Amino acid sequence: MGLPEIWRNLGPGLAGAVFGAGWWFWFDAVVCSAITVQFLHYLPGIFASLASLMFNCVRRDELQDYSPFDDGEGCRSRTWLFLSYVIAFVSLAGSAGMLVQDALLPDTPSSWTGVAGVLQCTCVLASGLMYWTSRTATE
């Protein structure tokens, strides 16, 4: 039993645990917040989850065979993957912006809410990549 086979067997469960941990950080911060957290603070995590779902819609074998003159599936898959990574990085940047806002401005949720948002986006995106690599692992 090689490492790719172990990763193929254990990766999806580990990815699910990391995804759950990311959302747990966020729910903990929202519940422990002294003031009501606005819906705008929820958006980075929602978009990170969407991006994770988007890049798991692309199979690895669609990305390996590429010809610049091919109008087929490869170009669409690469464009979809690029769009999903743009959404992922924007959600991560948005959560970092919320962290700075929560730390500096009065009448905003605590700094823990901002930190939890960054942890949430990081965990959700990492779990998506873990699932993508484990589901397409080959020997």
Split at pLDDT 50, 70, 90, the class of 139 is very low
Q: State how far the Cα of 46 lies from the Cα of 26, in Å rounded to an integer.
A: 11
Judged against a pLDDT cut of 90, whether residue 88 lies above it is answered with: yes
Alpha helices in the chain (DSSP H): 3-32, 43-55, 61-64, 73-104, 111-135
Q: State how far the Cα of 69 lies from the Cα of 67, in Å rounded to an integer.
A: 5
Burial status of residue 26 (CB atoms within 10 A of its CB: 0-12, 13-18, 19 or more): buried
Average of per-residue pLDDT across 61-89: 79
Judged against a pLDDT cut of 80, whether residue 124 lies above it is answered with: yes
